[in-house]
Structure 1
Amino acid sequence: MSTGGIANRSWQEWLSSLPAFFLLLGVIAYTTSADIHSQLLKLGQSTWDSYFELRNDPSAPTCNPNTNIDSELTKLIAAKEAEAAEDEFGLFDDEPVNKAALRESLERSQALCQEKFATYESIQDQMTTSVVIFRTVERFIADVVAFGLGAQKFILAFMVIICAATATLSRHQIAMRPMESEFDHRWSSLLQTIANGMLFYSSIAFWNLSYVGKEVIEAEREGIHIAWVVGFGVLTLCSLYQLFNIPKDAKKGGGFGHAMLSVPLYTQMCLISGTYFILQGHTAGIGVYLDKMMDFSDMFLNLGLFVWTGMMLKNTRLASLVFNVFRPFRMPTELLAFVAVVVAAVPTAYTGASGIFVIAVGAVIYQELRRAGARRQLALATTAMSGSMGVVLRPCLLVVIIAYLNRDVTTDELFFWGNRVFILTAVLFLAFVWFTRDKSVKANPAPMAEALPEALRLLKPILPYVLVLVSVVLFYHYVLDTALNEFSAPRVLPVILLGFLLYEHFTRKRFEGNEEEPEYRGIEHSTRTSINETTAHIGALLLVMGLSVSIGGVMERSGVMEMFPQVFESPWIAMTALVVLLVFVGMIMDPYGAVILVNATVAAIAFESGIEPLHFWMVCLVAFELGYLSPPVALNHLLTRQVVGEREVELASQEGNTFWRRHEKILLPLVTMGTALLIVAYIPLWYMSS
């Protein structure tokens, strides 16, 4: 569905977008506070040598530093002699009292006590007003960090429910086809109500299951259960409301086939997994697997931050300005599409998954390619594939997870070969897009002497953005000692984009009325629009990712993966079977869940069959990306449809006079990634066997 109307719904802004905005800001606040707190501790220790002792008010020692040694020694000797006199039966050896040893012990105790008092007085002397103020600030920041970490799971639960309800009420869930007819709306809403009811019932069953054998459960766990139960209850009511609230502009009638395609993916996954668990007598099954999101709450919250970053980027002038730089060269649109997918690989490496990048920046890439004159089919193909090449580049979190789960491979090895896979896919994309170009359109590139000065002129407006980016990165690096990498990117990138919006807000008068410049409506409109779009996208994407974990649970519990042979006689046969399986897994699961499932099931089979671990995981990454681009699910294409709008996809289907042109948006990514997968899978086997 188009996102154009989402930004104008005031009920969403107050009931969903505004809470989601504060939740995302809260995540940035407590994650950045951790960096600030670390630096405050370093500053405190460098300013006051004993700052870690000054952080808390010291307690005065209870011992006596001015003890009379002779008096205490006399008392001890008298006590020892009294003890000996009471030993009527001679149970203990009658040894003389060692006065020297007793005195030495008393003197050591007194010295230790005096040392404690000296330390206490020294700390008291150092407890100046500046120390008190500094430690108050430092401890407040520490409390913010602790509160944020403790509330992280609740933030995710609230985020899922708020955004999912928004996506449901705005009819923005991810489906293979949009709802068009009245029958589409009724059938889709009915199945959504049943699926949400399953989630509601399963969350109650999981809550009750948590009490089995326990009188009470920990407060945090019970709070999460309550959040899921209430949240899925609200989601059920939202879909029930939609069932009786059919849009007035919906077409009359409708067919069952199209209606089934309009059912959201998460609903189909929920109905499949829910039915399986109910038949198995495990009604809490969906709740159990959906709750596993809490174990990776930081990762899913980061996903939300990446989507917000992309929506803010969409509302800046930056993408248009970057594409403007290439326009003076009058390069063919096919070459511009190649530039787009290669440039997009870098931010994809930071977001960690191609689907996230398509949601975040896909609309920008599509719009700019169309503005440059690219045909719709090519623009859709490029948008769907825009994030597919970067998942093998440093510092992609998906690769880091693979290395974390396997001791047989390292991140350096994976990224080393990942760079080569990236070059391979980029060359293949360029070859196929150039080979299939419209040869009737003659290329008319501008002379370099003419194009280069104009390109340099158009490069100047980008320099302030570079300055903002560098300033934020340097601030985090030198002030907070935080480098921009896969771990810090979720909290740093939104700050950079907010800096872009602020720059545009204060300099908007320079480009208002200039026809060459994209329209800018101010920071309030840009921020509001971006968070409205972010809310719906997060809700749709998180439900799909959460329910894909449940589907993975069905595959794991049903024994489907165990039906796979435990070892193959030939690595060639093993590779062929694994390629088919991995592409299928990529069709139905999110990348992180897919890696965990594959690592626990078929990875060992590949190794036992003679496939090297490094080789296997590179095949996995390429196969997953092919899966995300392959029908019938083709998640990246569904996400592309989600961000560019159904109207554009319909118009694209009417273009072209050949089979390739009519289906280029599907065929170009399939041919590119399919060829890359064949090369990555079989060429190393041929090389090692030769």
Structure 2
Amino acid sequence: MTTFILFGTFFLFMALTVPIGIALGIAGLVTAMYSANISVTFLSQGLVTSTDNFALMAIPFFILAGEIMGKGGISNRLFDLANVFVGRYTGGFAMAAVITSMFFAAISGSGPATVAAVGGIMIPAMVAEGYDKKFATALIASAGSLGIILPPSIPMVLFGISANESIGDLFLGGILPGLLIGGLILLWAYIYSKKQGYAGTGESFSFKKLLQALNKAKWSLLVPIIILGGIYGGIFTPTEAAVIAVVYALFVSMFLHKSIKLKDLHAIFRNASLSSVAILIIIGTANAFGTILSMERIPQAFADGFLSVSENSVVVIIMIIIMLLIIGCFIDTAAAVIIFTPILYPVALEIGMNPIHFGIVMIVTLAIGFITPPLGVNLFVGSGLSGLSMPVLAKAAIPFFFVILFGLALIAVIPQLTLLFL
């Protein structure tokens, strides 16, 4: 009965469009009031202590770094560099947009931030070059999903904390899967562009232009090198890397690129604070929710339920993926990671799945939720940038859904794609 009240209350308030952090908190409170075994005081204490975590501090700093770099004109410079390499080929603008998204994903750690930063420039530019607006917007929205697959990734930090796994190992594990999915999106962009007759610039490769683009983008390109190189070189932790990313982004944007003025900082810090607070509220209330799950032994019940259907690891993984694909349509990625990691993590261990491999499979699956309605956050951002309606954009994103799903299947069945660098 306790389980029914917990999940019933949560989904009821979700259906009433109550913000997910509040819905989680109310569900935990109602359940605690019903059950004699759960103290409301204990839950309220957990609300605070769950956010008192050194590793968790990386999230607001990565969000702030992404906000600074998004406003600092970094995406322009990254696109100019990508365009030097692929702009002359069929669908060159489309492929350059994907590569720019991959670069920015390796900086921001956020899907919507990647779409906003790259799409604001690339969607109008692609339309001006003769690309269909629906394709251009769906392409950017889909490539934006790489924001949580390529390191540094905010959901990877959350999974690492929830499962007590190494965040650095998760970052390493996300490199090849991110490159694979980015490559598949590039391939589809080329195939579609060839079919539609979207020609490239026709310009021959020029070392002079390459050096000019590299010179303009050099400070932007150093960001992922500093962050990941510092973490894997043992120089600093992921949290310290996030702080360094903020300081570096401010220095580059204000003093080298001179694209951000002192007066712009208020809006940047405000936006980053609002995003951070929303995530931290979800983390706090989800912790209370997870505490009740553990006390009621719900994760073990889920594990037993999955294994009662089949003990075949492939069948269990498929069931988990289907479940997460559905969850991703309705629940924010950060919340889904926090809520369902304690439930599904024991299942993965029961079937002998490497925990880092499982974490990447989970995050890639939930990344598809960025382009699947009704939540589809990247689609909403793309809709705001292009003026296209959500139904039109969702239809245009269908091919990309299957492209990413194919990449997910490869990642799930070939563990070495995740574990090669570990």
Does TM-score exceed 0.5, indicating one fold?
A: yes
Match of 2:401 among 628, 652, 670: 670
| Alpha-carbon displacement from aligned partner over 1:163-215 (angstroms, at most 9, x marks no partner) | xxxxxxxxxxxxxxxxxxxxxxxxxxxxxxxxxxxxxxxxxxxxxxxxxxxxx
Distance apart, 1:313 and its partner CA: 1.5
Give 2:126's aligned residue: 373
One-letter amino acid matched to 1:358: G
One-letter amino acid matched to 2:401: L
8 Å CA contact 1:389–1:425 kept in 2: the answer is no
The whole-number CA distance in structure 2 between the counterparts of 1:554 and 1:400 is 19
1:549 and 2:287 are equivalent in the alignment: yes
Give 2:243's aligned residue: 491
Give 1:594's aligned residue: 337
| Alpha-carbon displacement from aligned partner over 1:370-421 (angstroms, at most 9, x marks no partner) | 24225356335524642536646589893797599579x9966x67764442
The whole-number CA distance in structure 2 between the counterparts of 1:392 and 1:629 is 17
1:291 and 2:291 are equivalent in the alignment: no
8 Å CA contact 1:305–1:494 kept in 2: the answer is yes
The whole-number CA distance in structure 2 between the counterparts of 1:489 and 1:483 is 9
Task: Name the CA shift for 1:306/1:370 in 2 (closer, same or farther; >3 Å).
Answer: same
8 Å CA contact 1:337–1:379 kept in 2: the answer is no
4+ runs deviating over 6 angstroms: 394-397, 409-412
Give 2:311's aligned residue: 569
Task: Name the CA shift for 1:672/1:290 in 2 (closer, same or farther; >3 Å).
Answer: farther
Whose helix fraction is larger, Structure 1's or Structure 2's? 2
Say which SS state the counterpart of residue 447 (structure 1) adopts. coil
Match of 1:622 among 364, 375, 379: 364
Distance apart, 1:339 and its partner CA: 0.8
| Alpha-carbon displacement from aligned partner over 1:246-296 (angstroms, at most 9, x marks no partner) | xxxxxxxxxxxxx955x4333333444443333336544652442243342
Task: Name the CA shift for 1:444/1:337 in 2 (closer, same or farther; >3 Å).
Answer: closer
One-letter amino acid matched to 2:410: I
The whole-number CA distance in structure 1 between the counterparts of 2:49 and 2:374 is 27
Give 1:503's aligned residue: 255
One-letter amino acid matched to 1:652: L
Query: What are the within-5 Å matches in structure 2 for residues 204-243 of structure 1?
Result: none
Task: Name the CA shift for 1:627/1:679 in 2 (closer, same or farther; >3 Å).
Answer: same
The whole-number CA distance in structure 1 between the counterparts of 2:77 and 2:112 is 21
User: Structure 1: which 5+ runs fail to align?
Assistant: 1-258, 352-356, 509-519, 686-690
One-letter amino acid matched to 2:98: F
1:265 and 2:20 are equivalent in the alignment: yes
1:648 and 2:380 are equivalent in the alignment: no
Task: Name the CA shift for 1:543/1:667 in 2 (closer, same or farther; >3 Å).
Answer: farther
Query: What are the within-5 Å matches in structure 2 for residues 244-323 of structure 1?
Result: 260-261=16-17, 263-280=18-35, 282-284=39-41, 287-296=44-53, 298-323=54-79
Task: Name the CA shift for 1:529/1:606 in 2 (closer, same or farther; >3 Å).
Answer: closer
Give 2:419's aligned residue: none
| Alpha-carbon displacement from aligned partner over 1:287-328 (angstroms, at most 9, x marks no partner) | 2442243342x3443322222222222332332233234456
Please provide the CA RMSD for this pair: 4.4
Task: Name the CA shift for 1:290/1:577 in 2 (closer, same or farther; >3 Å).
Answer: same
Q: Normalization by structure 1: what TM-score?
A: 0.46
Q: How many residues align?
A: 382
Task: Name the CA shift for 1:293/1:411 in 2 (closer, same or farther; >3 Å).
Answer: closer
Query: What are the within-5 Å matches in structure 2 for residues 252-651 of structure 1?
Result: 260-261=16-17, 263-280=18-35, 282-284=39-41, 287-296=44-53, 298-327=54-83, 329=87, 332=91, 333-347=93-107, 351=109, 357-358=110-111, 360-373=113-126, 375=133, 378-379=136-137, 381-383=139-141, 385-388=143-146, 391=149, 393=151, 398=156, 402=160, 418-437=174-193, 439-449=195-205, 453-463=208-218, 465=219, 483=235, 486-504=238-256, 520=259, 523-557=261-295, 559-566=297-304, 567=307, 568-583=310-325, 588=331, 591=334, 594=337, 598=341, 600-609=342-351, 611=353, 615-627=357-369, 629-634=371-376, 636-637=377-378, 641=381, 647-648=384-385, 651=387
| Alpha-carbon displacement from aligned partner over 1:423-448 (angstroms, at most 9, x marks no partner) | 33223222333344484343133221
8 Å CA contact 1:321–1:462 kept in 2: the answer is yes
Q: Which has the higher contact order (CA 8 A, sep 6+)?
A: 2
The whole-number CA distance in structure 2 between the counterparts of 1:537 and 1:684 is 33
One-letter amino acid matched to 1:319: S
8 Å CA contact 2:111–2:144 kept in 1: the answer is yes
The whole-number CA distance in structure 1 between the counterparts of 2:266 and 2:247 is 16
Task: Name the CA shift for 1:487/1:597 in 2 (closer, same or farther; >3 Å).
Answer: same
Say which SS state the counterpart of residue 314 (structure 1) adopts. helix
One-letter amino acid matched to 1:440: Q
The whole-number CA distance in structure 2 between the counterparts of 1:322 and 1:441 is 25
Distance apart, 1:633 and its partner CA: 3.4
Q: Normalization by structure 2: what TM-score?
A: 0.71
8 Å CA contact 2:59–2:154 kept in 1: the answer is no
Give 2:6's aligned residue: none
One-letter amino acid matched to 2:69: L
One-letter amino acid matched to 2:199: A
Say which SS state the counterpart of residue 386 (structure 1) adopts. helix
8 Å CA contact 1:269–1:547 kept in 2: the answer is yes
The whole-number CA distance in structure 2 between the counterparts of 1:616 and 1:385 is 22
The whole-number CA distance in structure 2 between the counterparts of 1:541 and 1:394 is 16
Task: Name the CA shift for 1:314/1:503 in 2 (closer, same or farther; >3 Å).
Answer: same
One-letter amino acid matched to 1:564: F
- Identical-residue share of aligned pairs (%): 16
Task: Name the CA shift for 1:321/1:390 in 2 (closer, same or farther; >3 Å).
Answer: same
Task: Name the CA shift for 1:565/1:396 in 2 (closer, same or farther; >3 Å).
Answer: closer
